[in-house]
Amino acid sequence: MGDRVELSAECDSITEIYPRSCSFVRPAVANINQMIVVISTVYPKVDLHFIDTLLFGIETRGIDAAVCINKSDLDEDGSISEVFDIYTKAGYKTIITSAKEGRGKEELYALLKDRITAFAGNSGVGKSSLLNLIGDDLNLKTGTLSEKTEKGRHTTRHTELLPLPCGGYVLDTPGFGKLDLPPMTADEAEKYFPEFAPYRENCKFTGCSHTSERGCAVLEAAERGEIAQSRMESYIDFYNKLKEYKKWQLK
C-alpha cells in the first residue's frame, strides 16, 4: 500500500512502479513521510521505553515523527503534562488530544495537512477514533479495552489509504505496534536522539558513547534535567543491544 505507479492510458494496467522512499514489511506500506506515535497515559497505560523504540525506528528510516497524547479527558493525575514535557524537550512535535471531546482537532489537522501519514501505537489508544474525529465521513470501526488485560482489541484488519478533508492521506493500518532496531553500529545510535545534538560536540573525549564517560556533556545535561532520564535509559539500552550485533548482521 502506498506505491507510486504509472498507469496505461486505458488505466487497465500498471506500466511502471517508481522507487520507494521508504517501506515497511508489517504492515506492508511504502512512501509515507510522517508517522505519529499515538499514546495514552491512562488505558492502555503509557510505556515510555516502547514510545522511544518506535521513535528511534522512525528516525532511522528518515521519516518525520510526532507524538499525540490521546484521551486527555481521562487524565486525572496530571501525568499527561509530564509525558508532554519529555517529548517536547526531546524536540518532537507533541500534541494533546481527546477524540471524545474534540480537543486538539485543529493541531492534528495541521500535522496531517498535505502529508502521507501513518499512525503507530498500541491497540486501544484511540487511533481510529482520532481519524474519525478529523474525517467525519470515514466511519472507522473503533474498539474497547479488554477488562482483563487493559489492552486494546485490534479493530483495523487491513491497510487502507484514506484521503483527508484537510489535504493529504493517512494510512489506517492494523500494525506499527513495534519497530525493530535496524542493523547499525552502536556508535550510530546517538544520531537518532535529536535532543543530544546541542551537547554531544562538547563531550570531553572524542568518540564518547554517552553511556558512562566522565566529562560527557550529554550525561551532564541529563543530570541537570535538560534531557529526560527515561530517554537516556532508552538510549543506553539501544546502544548496548546494538553492540551485540555481529558484522554479518550489519551488511
Low-confidence ranges of the chain (pLDDT < 50): 140, 142-156
Q: Are residues 23 and 142 in the same domain?
A: yes
How many other C-beta atoms can be found within 10 angstroms of the C-beta atom of residue 128?
Answer: 22
pLDDT for res 6? 73
pLDDT for res 128? 82
pLDDT for res 132? 84
pLDDT for res 70? 94
Sign of CA dihedral 110, 113, 89, 74: positive
Write out the three cell numbers for 205: 573525549
Question: Does the predicted model carry a pTM greater than 0.85?
Answer: no
User: What range defines the domain where residue 161 resides?
Assistant: 5-172
- Within a domain: residue 9? yes
Q: Are residues 214 and 242 in the same domain?
A: yes
